Structure formats: structure tokens, C-alpha cells
Amino acid sequence: MAMVETSDGAQLYVKEAGQGRPLILIHGWPLNADSWDDQILALSNAGMRVIAYDRRGFGRSSQPPGGYDYDRFADDLAEVMAARGVESDASLVGFSMGGGEVARYLSRHGPDKLRSVALISSVVPYMLKTADNPDGVEQSVFDEMTAGMKNDRPDFFRSFLKDFFGVGMLNSPVSDAYLDWAWGLCMQAGLIPTLQAAKAFATTDFRPDLSAFTLPTLVIHGTGDNTVPIEATGRAVADAVPTATLREYEGSPHGLFATDGGKLTSDLLTFLKT
């Protein structure tokens, strides 16, 4: 592992595995890079140089007082790539909130170092329901999330993760032990970063960034995703980006890296090697 210091002084935890063409995995909220571990193992064994890092404020990275917006997040990504010597032929894979880093990186830093990108259960292009985004999520939902985190963050994430992984009375795609592990990752993040990052993914409009998607783009999204509904996100990207290919996982929830891990890894490998 390594620590990368950003231009504004934040310390970002980075881990790598494998040798070959570089692949940067960007985790979702409110987890950290360890959520990618199954994919890191499989993709590195398949001949990729896999790099994953904890977003500022999360996991083992530092918790600075600010910088929890997508311009800064995209700059963090660019600085991680530079620090690890990624100069060309790279691919970016953003899960959930991490899709925003991919979009903003493309519009802010350009595609020159990249070969392809992938959006997994991503918040792109716009999560919030507005008059011109009728399929988005009501502001009241985000308000309730904020209130829940401020009132009892540990309990809030117990319930949140059940929806995240599609756990119900009759269906449990992941074990209780896995839920406990994921909860532990959530609790490594600071409260201020958790709240500020949630505000960022809920309110940032990435529709102006879509024109920067000129590279081959894979979009994977579960049709049963209640955390980031597919209509306003995955399908909207596929409709707006000519280079995008959409793969819908019928009935699958948000946390595809766990609930559909083998299928996700296989689809990523097929795409990355094309």
C-alpha cells in the first residue's frame, strides 16, 4: 500500500495488485477500497494492474475539513494516477458515487490517459428529482438520510445496507457476516465526510459532463436497484452517450460487487480486454 498526498494536503490510501495495463477502481459511498477486494483479486490474476484508493474522508485516508465536492474528487483521482505513474492506456471503473469521479475526471482532465471507462450502479448523470429530471429521487429521501445519519449513524447504516444489498424477509443475496463487514467499512468514514459526500452525489448534475464520454463506456446497473434507480442513471447514460453499452442485471440490487460479483467481474474482463 502507499499514501498519496494531494495538492491540498489530504492523505489518500492506495493499494495495488498485479501487473499489466492499469485499471483504477473507485469505490462507492460510504465504503472504501476494500469493497473491491474480490474484483481486485480476480482482475489482477487476469493480467491487470489494479489500483484502488480510499476517497478522502473514508477508510484509511485522512479526513480534511473540506474538499468533498466532485471537482476536488476528480482532482484527487488525477493526482493518484500521477503519483502511481499512470500515464496511458488506463481504464476507470466507478461504482455508485464513484461514477461521478469518472464523469468529472473526463470533463475536467480529459481522456488522454484513458482507454475506456465503466460505470457500475452509478449516480451519473443526475440523482435528484427536478422538473427536468422527473425520474430522479425526491429531495425528501436525501433529507431523511441526513437526519438518520445525524441521529444515529450506526443504526442508519444497518438499515441502509439491507437495501443496498437487496436483503429482505425472503431473500438475502449476502450473509449476515458480510453485512457486518460492510457496516464496519461504513463506520471507518468520518461523519462530516459522510454527510458532505452524500450531499455531493445527491445534488451534482453530471449531465453537462456526458459530452466528455468519447471513449468506450460500459454501463452496468441492476433493475432492482432501490438505492440508485436505473431509469434516471444507467439508462439515461446509455441514451445520451453514443459510445456506451448498457448491461442490465435483471432484479439485482445496488451492491453488484457482492450480489453479482462473478458476473460483474466476467463482464468487466470481457469489456477491458476488447
Determine contact, residues 259/166, Cβ cutoff 8 Å: yes
Question: What does each C-alpha distance from 215 to 90, 103, 107, 189 come to in angstroms?
Answer: 11, 12, 12, 33
> Going by DSSP bridges, is the β-strand pair 21-26/90-95 parallel, antiparallel, or unpaired?
parallel
Amino acid at 194: T
- Assess whether 27 carries a catalytic annotation: no
pLDDT at 150: 98
* Cβ atoms of residues 58 and 187 within 8 Å: no
d(CA 167, CA 147) in angstroms, rounded, equals: 23
How does pLDDT run across 143-202, given as a tens digit for each residue?
999 999 999 999 999 999 999 999 986 688 999 999 999 999 999 999 999 999 999 999
Looking at this protein, which amino acid is placed at residue 148?
A: G
Runs of H (alpha helix) within 136-244: 139-164, 176-187, 191-203, 234-240
- Could you tell me the residue range of the domain that residue 9 belongs to? 2-272
* pLDDT the model gives residue 128: 96
Residue 182: phi and psi, rounded to 5, are -65, -40
Give yes or no for a contact between 255 and 224, defined as CB atoms under 8 angstroms apart.
Answer: no
Domain count, the chain: 1
Establish whether 254 is a catalytic residue.
Answer: yes
Q: What is the CATH number of the domain that holds 248?
A: 3.40.50.1820
C-alpha to C-alpha distance for 29 and 21, rounded to whole angstroms: 26
Q: Please identify which of the residues 35, 96, 107, 252 carries the catalytic annotation.
A: 96
Q: Tell me, what's the pLDDT at 169? A: 64
Band of residue 274 on the pLDDT scale cut at 50, 70, 90: confident
In what helix (H) or strand (E) does residue 108 lie, and over which residues does it extend? Answer: helix 98-109
Q: Looking at residues 234-253, what average pLDDT do you find?
A: 98
Contact at 8 Å (CB) between 65 and 192? Answer: yes
* Phi, psi torsion values for 40, nearest 5 degrees: -60, -45
Mean pLDDT of 126-143: 96
Distance CA 207, CA 112 (A): 21
Annotated active-site residue 91? The verdict is: no
Of 92, 251, 62, which is closest to residue 166 (Cα–Cα)?
Answer: 251
Catalytic residue among 209, 225, 260, 267: 225
C-alpha cell at 63: 479526513
Residue type, 151: N
- What is the distance between the alpha carbons of residues 34 and 28, in angstroms, rounded to a whole number? 11
First-to-last alpha carbon distance for the chain, in angstroms, is 29
**Model pTM?**
0.97
SS3 18: coil
Out of 209, 254, 260, 267, which one is annotated catalytic? 254
The span from the CA of 28 to the CA of 47, in Å, is 24
266 has a pLDDT exceeding 80:
yes
Mean pLDDT to the nearest integer, 15-30 = 98
Q: What is the mean pLDDT of residues 60-68?
A: 97
Q: What is the C-alpha separation between 85 and 255, in angstroms, rounded? A: 30
In eight-state DSSP terms, residue 23 is: E
